[in-house]
Amino acid sequence: MDFSEDILRRRLVKYKFRDLTIEELMKVHKMYPSFKPSMDTYTFSDGSQKDLLNLIGTIPVNYQGQIFNIPVRFWILDSYPFAPPICFLKPTSSMVIREGKHVDAQGRIYLHYLHSWKHKNTDITCHLYQRPLSNTSLKYALNRVVGLATHLFAASAIPV
């Protein structure tokens, strides 16, 4: 799917806050042009399913003085921006996820920031609103996960 307002408008017809969602998605695209949107079926933990927009791309994370491009997938709920995105690490075929305090075996990211999400105070692109990167941006939250970069590693590095 292309990252155009017209296409998003047609695809997000069932989204409650479509215009707000599209506005923020366009800002994400401006900041991270490599992010690609698609409509897919998300399966919730209770087994229910819903067709949702998701963004797949990489986020630069500083780990031990080096920048790593961490592959992620954000599922955008139909109640976004009043509900947080569901965030996952999305390893490449040569990567493996290691579970930890903030990442489960499927790569789902659990952060206080997402749990306490409030529209206007928290968003994916806080830093795009001409404010300094603050502790209310998703990018900040991802950077603050101690050792997030260690949750993905090359499959060839798995001890036998």
Spans of all domains in the chain:
5-157
Residue with the bigger pLDDT between 133 and 59: it is 59
Overall average pLDDT of the 92-97 stretch: 86
Q: Which two tokens stand for residue 76?
A: 């955008």
- The 10s digit of each residue's pLDDT in 59-82 is 777 777 887 788 889 899 999 888
CA 36 vs CA 41, 120, 133, 150, 159: distances in Å: 16, 24, 23, 24, 34
Q: What is the pLDDT of residue 151?
A: 60
- The 10s digit of each residue's pLDDT in 28-59 is 888 788 889 999 999 999 999 999 999 998 87
Q: What is the pLDDT of residue 153?
A: 58
Q: What is the pLDDT of residue 141?
A: 52
Q: What is the pLDDT of residue 69?
A: 81
Q: How would CATH label the architecture of 5-157?
A: Roll (3.10)
What is the per-residue DSSP string for 3-60? --HHHHHHHTTT-TTHHHHHHHHHHHHHH-TT-EEEEEEEE-TTS-EEEEEEEEEEEE
> By C-alpha distance, which of 99, 78, 77, 95 is closest to 86?
77
| Whether this model's pTM surpasses 0.85 | no
Q: How confident is the model at residue 155 (pLDDT cuts 50, 70, 90)?
A: low
Residue 138 has pLDDT above 60, yes or no: no
